[in-house]
């Protein structure tokens, strides 16, 4: 394989790992070049649109706003699947456990991460045996990835669900990694030390609440993935552990790269089978270059209510809060009403 391509992909992976490792949670091999499918433009509930000018405006809270066309969005997914999952089916059990939307403002040189709860109840598009849309239903956001082969089509279906949730905001690109890759990454950097936040005694007695432990192998996956069997089984608590773990992983990753300039290329070769993206190497390299100097904004999350459904937890976002977040992140003030 062309070493130039390998090096470019390695640089891209370095960014992806750094992102997933917490640099963005606290302050990504070449794939298809098509963009993820997104729905028609829409506006937040409680807002109205006007086509009085060349650029469509949205009326919200007493003023007119325009959707910012200069932003780029990259969706990062952590999937609860295994690398050897069959790729020829249009239904799978590969749910998106971790969803992070990166909103890139190239002009201002900033990146705003928006973390989405996997249990968020929203409209999900179903795909038939031919891979084409066959209706929709309301369900947990994580389920969008279960429609499709578990590869690009499933990521695109998830991108559409996220876009619909955010009132039609386009999702430009996606990068996914299966959660079982966490164990591999964890051990590649020599383990990750964290203070155990929850009582895992019914799941793994080696994870003692309140103690500082260097997580190894499956311990790391258990820590960032588990919620059943814990006192607080909501995904909100798991999201907190994910942020904590990924922040610690970032430090270990940085140390590994500094100690061994060949580390990232080696990591790429081992982690590649766990990754899916619609980005080309060139696009990922551009992303790497931008993020290396970008100012990372505070992580944005949705407020709402977590409820116990008939079978699983369900998260209902506060609509007013969601509207305000979308307007703040993706729209610009034009004029008073």
| 115 DSSP β-pair partners | 100, 301
Given a cut of 50, the residues of the chain with pLDDT beneath it are: 1-15, 19-40, 51-53, 82-85
- The pLDDT of residue 88 is 55
- The pLDDT of residue 309 is 85
DSSP 37-74: P-PPP---TT-EEE-SSSS-EEEETTEEEEE-TTEEEE
- What is the reported pTM? 0.76
Q: Are strands 173-178 and 275-277 parallel, antiparallel or unpaired?
A: antiparallel
- The pLDDT of residue 90 is 66
- The pLDDT of residue 83 is 41
- The pLDDT of residue 239 is 83
Instruction: Give tens-digit pLDDT for 101-128.
Output: 999 999 999 999 898 999 999 999 998 8
Domains and CATH numbers, the chain: 3-336 (3.40.630.190)
Q: Are strands 63-67 and 331-336 parallel, antiparallel or unpaired?
A: antiparallel
Reduced to 3 states, what is the DSSP secondary structure of residue 246?
A: helix
- The pLDDT of residue 29 is 27
- The pLDDT of residue 51 is 44
- The pLDDT of residue 11 is 43
Structure tokens at 74: 């990259």
- The pLDDT of residue 326 is 97
End-to-end alpha carbon distance in the chain: 58
- The pLDDT of residue 283 is 80
Structure tokens at 167: 């009132």
DSSP 204-242: -TTS-TT-EEEE-THHHHHHHH--TTSSS-SHHHHHHHH
Q: Are 68 and 55 in contact (CB under 8 A)?
A: no
- The pLDDT of residue 55 is 67
Instruction: Give tens-digit pLDDT for 80-108.
Output: 863 444 555 567 788 998 899 999 999 99
């Amino acid at each position: 394989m062309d070493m130039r391509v390998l090096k470019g992909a390695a640089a891209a992976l370095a960014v992806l790992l750094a992102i997933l490792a917490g640099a963005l949670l606290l302050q990504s091999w070449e794939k298809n070049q098509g963009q993820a499918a997104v729905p028609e433009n829409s506006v937040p509930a409680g807002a109205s649109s006007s086509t009085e000018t060349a650029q469509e405006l949205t009326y919200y809270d007493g003023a007119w706003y325009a959707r910012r066309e200069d932003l780029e969005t990259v969706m990062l997914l952590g999937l609860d699947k295994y690398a050897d999952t069959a790729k020829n089916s249009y239904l799978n059990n590969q749910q998106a456990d971790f969803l992070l939307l990166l909103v890139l403002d190239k002009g201002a040189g900033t990146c705003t991460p928006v973390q989405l709860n996997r249990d968020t109840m929203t409209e999900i598009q179903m795909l038939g045996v031919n891979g084409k849309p066959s209706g929709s239903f309301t369900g947990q956001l994580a389920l969008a990835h279960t429609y499709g082969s578990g590869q690009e089509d499933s990521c695109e279906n998830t991108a559409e669900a996220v876009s619909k949730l955010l009132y039609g905001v386009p999702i430009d690109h996606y990068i996914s990694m299966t959660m079982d890759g966490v164990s591999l990454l964890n051990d590649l950097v020599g383990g990750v030390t964290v203070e155990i936040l929850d009582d895992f005694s019914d799941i793994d007695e080696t994870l003692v609440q309140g103690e500082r432990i260097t997580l190894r192998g499956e311990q790391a996956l258990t820590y960032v993935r588990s919620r059943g069997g814990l006192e607080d089984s909501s995904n909100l608590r798991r999201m907190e552990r994910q942020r904590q773990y990924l922040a610690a992983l970032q430090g270990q990753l940085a140390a590994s790269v500094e100690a061994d300039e060949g580390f990232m290329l080696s990591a790429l070769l081992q982690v590649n089978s766990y990754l899916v993206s619609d980005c080309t190497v060139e696009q990922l390299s551009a992303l790497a270059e931008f993020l290396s100097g970008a100012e990372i904004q505070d992580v944005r999350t949705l407020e709402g209510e977590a409820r116990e459904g008939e079978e699983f937890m369900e998260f209902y976002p506060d609509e007013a809060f969601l509207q305000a977040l979308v307007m703040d992140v993706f729209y610009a003030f034009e004029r008073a009403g």
